[in-house]
């Protein structure tokens, strides 16, 4: 709570530390890849004490996921266009664009790798997925309030995110805007089933 209040003051020391640490992680991931640096490396690069990092994030895994969710939320916010279909089309196009790019695959690989990074890794991964799930649920709730019949979050995972992710991971099939639209068409058709 205190952290959140601090984060709202963009000029505060807490916000400056957060920005410096996030930038250090982004740089280290680009230079060395995941799994090749420690909390100490991040702190040194950010010019802060190790204890500042441990106090705020607890573990490297939590820090990595904080950076990933911040990046995803900023670079690919869940849309709010006023119509479910348009929201889904904008969202799907963004997911395809992200996964076709190098950063999107890095974030996806991180989420996958965390499953084998012990209890802290699984916790950090689950927090990331829960936060993104909440953002998507908000989009679907807004549609329901407008009287539309949205799919479930799990349907979006199964039939929109999963196909794009697996095509990206396997290097199979095209990842184009037309493909994104096809997936949205199919997702919307699910609602029309008996």
Q: Is the distance from CB of 153 to CB of 137 less than 8 angstroms?
A: yes
Q: What are the helix (H) ranges across 58-149?
A: 60-75, 84-100, 102-114, 118-145
> Which of residues 141 and 152 has its CB atom nearest to a copy of itself in the complex?
152
The reply to whether 162 sits near a copy of itself by the rule CB under 8 A is yes
φ and ψ at residue 129, rounded to 5 degrees: -65, -35
* Beta carbons within 8 Å of 80's beta carbon, 6+ residues apart: 87, 139, 142
Between residues 35 and 40, which has the closer beta carbon with respect to a copy of itself?
35
With CB under 8 A as the contact rule, the residue among 15, 122, 127, 188 that binds a copy of itself is: 122
Residue in 10, 11, 13, 170 binding a copy of itself, rule: CB under 8 A: 170
How many residues of this chain bind a copy of itself (CB under 8 A)? Answer: 29
Among 8, 32, 112, 141, binds a copy of itself (CB under 8 A): 112
Handedness of CA 54, 57, 62, 67 (dihedral sign): negative
- Residue 190 is a binding residue for a copy of itself (CB under 8 A): yes
Tokens 């250090």 belong to 24
Cβ proximity to a copy of itself, 11 vs 171, nearer residue: 171
Q: Which residues of 73-108 are buried (b: 16+ CB within 10 A; e: fewer)?
A: eeebebbeeeebeebbbbbbbbbbbbbeeebbeebb
CB of 20 to a copy of itself, least distance (A): 29
75: contact with a copy of itself by CB under 8 A: no
| 163 near a copy of itself, judged by CB under 8 A | yes
For a copy of itself, the binding residues (CB under 8 A) are 109, 111-112, 115-116, 122, 125-126, 129, 154, 157-159, 161-163, 165-167, 169-173, 183, 186, 189-190, 193
């Amino acid at each position: 709570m205190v952290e959140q209040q601090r984060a709202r003051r963009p000029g505060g020391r807490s916000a400056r530390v957060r920005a410096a640490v996030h930038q250090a992680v982004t740089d280290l991931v680009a230079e060395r890849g995941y799994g090749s640096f420690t909390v100490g490396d991040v702190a040194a690069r950010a010019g802060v004490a190790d204890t500042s990092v441990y106090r705020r994030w607890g573990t490297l895994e939590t820090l990595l996921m904080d950076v990933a969710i911040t990046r995803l939320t900023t670079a690919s916010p869940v849309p709010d266009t006023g119509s479910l279909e348009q929201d889904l089309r904008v969202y799907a196009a963004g997911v395809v664009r992200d996964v076709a790019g190098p950063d999107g695959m890095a974030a996806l690989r991180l989420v996958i790798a965390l499953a084998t990074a012990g209890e802290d890794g699984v916790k950090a991964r689950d927090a990331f997925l829960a936060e993104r799930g909440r953002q998507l649920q908000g989009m679907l709730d807004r549609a329901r309030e407008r009287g539309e019949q949205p799919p479930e979050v799990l349907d979006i995972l199964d039939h929109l995110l999963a196909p794009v992710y697996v095509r990206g991971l396997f290097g199979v099939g095209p990842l184009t805007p037309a493909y994104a639209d096809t997936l949205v068409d199919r997702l919307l058709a699910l609602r029309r089933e008996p």
